[in-house]
């Protein structure tokens, strides 16, 4: 896999007219590249890092959220809830990855959740009639020279489908959760600053939990390309006229995890990726560092910088379903343990007309969740070839756990391979299959999906793999990588 030399990113200005959402994806316009740091919530760089929490406690929290998340996603797919109506049956809970982003001009830095299973980007705004307490000051549109609210005739507002309310001159949105949490406000556009990983990490090192109040300074210089550049080394990218939800009322359990909102990385028309469109060649990629390495940081790439190539790269089609544009569905045909195929029946992972089933890749879910029959085949094969004894009554949601001499140094465990269409084989070693729950206990991070729920390829299996999403070609590519040094920070 090719490794790119470290970038010294200048400020990149991208003008993104909202009417571009109505155009088909293509590669006709020049592409721009930038990258940002993805900070896992348990990282020392995270605003909610808790050094006293044990690894097993942290992972159990992730496991619990994985189950809650898949129940929510099933409700969306079966029509019991609707992303187009911005309703969710999952309780607001632990997220996985954060991005630090500057909003407005001058930029105000905020921590936002990064989520490939969501489309709308939103943050709290003043005046805020009912908002949760956040560490950074709440964004004030009046302090920004680039903020504007959208009217109901705008393309972005039309993308809200059934859940838009039109005031005298603005498009209102509402996002409601089953546990009583909700966020609502104006659909608007603003300039968003995406600072480089190097800039993010260097500013956090003096005080891990501190969020600097200073905003990046820029001095744009016109170039011959369609973009405008700055000579300020390492500042990042500024994206103009990005559609987002400016929340004036946020109630419930938000804000307990340090976030001020969310960045939608899904495939729907409101997402960051769809809005950027041709300007980033309709593609992004990430490389999730191993969470065993506490000081490692993951990277999210946009545009040509997201390209991966080499002999180890595999590609499989992204399957598009008109009713579910947010999710990145893949065609999984079988799984192997070692060299042995499990022979999972054809159709096991298909999405049915009623919205049951399906298989998609997700950055916001830790565990991989599969239908019970597939999990049984997998665990039966594990039991046949793993010599370690299993424990009685493994903690939920694990199906089985093994007693080992040292969970940090394991031998005698098999690799497994997920076989996708296009002869794309995703092979992973024991560190991507088992979690060291205790010093002498390991558990497979692959569990049963709730009845008739979708199957999800979680982020634990994606660690130390660079994953490229090409929405223009409708293709997902992946290759093994050392994400600690991937495209140097």
Residues annotated as catalytic are 115, 362
Contact (CB, 8 A) for 252 and 2 = no
* Residue located via tokens 């307990």: 256
Alpha carbon distance 376, 66 (integer Å): 19
Helix (H, G, I), strand (E, B) or coil at 432: helix
Assign 3-class secondary structure to 155-213: HHHHCCCCCCEECCCCEEEEEEECCCCEEEEEEEEEEEEECCHHHHHHHHCCCCCCCCC
User: What region does 347 belong to: left with phi over 0, alpha with psi -120 to 50, or beta?
Assistant: left
Spell out the residues 6+ positions from residue 280 whose beta carbon is closer than 8 angstroms to its own: 31, 32, 33, 273, 302, 303, 306
Phi, psi of 68 (to 5 degrees): -65, -40
* Residue located via tokens 């009322």: 249
Alpha carbon distance 35, 4 (integer Å): 12
Phi, psi of 432 (to 5 degrees): -95, 0
Helix (H, G, I), strand (E, B) or coil at 430: helix
Q: From the CB of residue 50, how many other CB atoms can be counted at a distance below 10 Å? A: 11
Query: Of 171, 180, 302, 191, which is closest to residue 245 (Cα–Cα)?
Result: 171
Q: What is the DSSP letter of 24?
A: P
Phi, psi of 142 (to 5 degrees): -65, -20
What totals of helices (H) and strands (E) does the chain contain, helices first? Answer: 6, 31
User: What region does 185 belong to: left with phi over 0, alpha with psi -120 to 50, or beta?
Assistant: left
Alpha carbon distance 135, 130 (integer Å): 16
Q: From the CB of residue 53, how many other CB atoms can be counted at a distance below 10 Å? A: 11
Helix (H, G, I), strand (E, B) or coil at 421: coil
Stated length of the chain: 489
Spell out the residues 6+ positions from residue 314 whose beta carbon is closer than 8 angstroms to its own: 420, 422, 423, 424, 425, 426, 477, 478, 479
Alpha carbon distance 50, 72 (integer Å): 27
Phi, psi of 215 (to 5 degrees): -105, 155
């Amino acid at each position: 896999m090719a490794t790119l030399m470290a970038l010294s990113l200048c400020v990149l200005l991208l003008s993104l007219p909202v009417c571009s959402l109505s155009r088909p994806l293509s590669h006709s316009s020049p592409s721009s590249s930038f990258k940002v740091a993805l900070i896992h919530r348990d990282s020392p760089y995270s605003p909610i890092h808790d050094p006293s929490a044990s690894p097993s406690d942290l992972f159990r929290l992730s496991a619990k959220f994985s189950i809650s998340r898949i129940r929510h996603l099933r409700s969306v797919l079966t029509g019991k809830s609707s992303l187009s109506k911005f309703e969710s049956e999952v309780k607001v809970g632990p997220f996985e990855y954060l991005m630090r982003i500057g909003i407005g001009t001058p930029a105000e830095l905020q921590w936002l959740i990064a989520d490939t299973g969501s489309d709308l980007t939103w943050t709290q705004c003043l005046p805020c009639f009912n908002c949760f307490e956040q560490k950074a000051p709440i964004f004030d549109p009046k302090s920004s020279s680039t903020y504007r609210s959208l009217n109901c005739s705008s393309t972005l507002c039309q993308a809200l489908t059934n859940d838009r309310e039109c005031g005298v001159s603005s498009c209102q949105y509402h996002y409601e959760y089953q546990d009583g949490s909700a966020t609502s406000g104006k659909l608007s556009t603003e300039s968003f600053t995406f600072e480089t990983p190097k800039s993010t990490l260097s500013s956090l090192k003096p005080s891990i939990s501190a969020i600097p109040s200073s905003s990046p300074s820029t001095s744009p210089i016109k170039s011959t390309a369609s973009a405008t550049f700055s000579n300020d080394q390492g500042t990042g990218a500024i994206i103009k006229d990005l559609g987002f939800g400016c929340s004036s009322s946020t109630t419930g359990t938000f804000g307990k995890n340090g976030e001020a909102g969310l960045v939608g990385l899904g495939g729907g028309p409101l997402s960051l990726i769809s809005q950027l469109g041709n300007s980033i060649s309709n593609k992004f990629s990430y490389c999730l560092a191993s969470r065993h390495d506490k000081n490692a940081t993951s990277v999210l790439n946009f545009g040509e910088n997201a390209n991966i190539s080499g002999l180890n790269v595999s590609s499989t089609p992204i399957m598009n379903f008109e009713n579910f544009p947010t999710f990145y569905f893949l065609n999984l045909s079988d799984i192997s343990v070692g060299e042995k195929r499990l022979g999972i029946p054809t159709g096991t992972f298909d999405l049915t007309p009623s919205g049951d089933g399906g298989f998609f890749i997700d950055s916001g879910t830790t565990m991989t969740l599969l239908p019970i029959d597939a999990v049984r085949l997998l665990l039966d094969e594990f039991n046949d070839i793993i010599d370690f004894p299993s424990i009685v009554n493994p903690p939920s949601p694990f199906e089985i756990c093994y007693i080992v001499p040292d969970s940090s140094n394991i031998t005698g465990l098999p690799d497994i391979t997920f076989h996708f269409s296009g002869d794309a084989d995703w092979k992973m070693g024991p560190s991507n299959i088992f979690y060291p729950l205790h010093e002498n206990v390991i558990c497979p991070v692959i569990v049963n999906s709730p009845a008739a729920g979708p199957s999800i390829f979680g982020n634990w299996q994606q660690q130390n793999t660079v994953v490229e999403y090409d929405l223009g070609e409708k293709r997902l590519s992946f290759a093994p990588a050392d994400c600690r040094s991937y495209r140097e920070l």
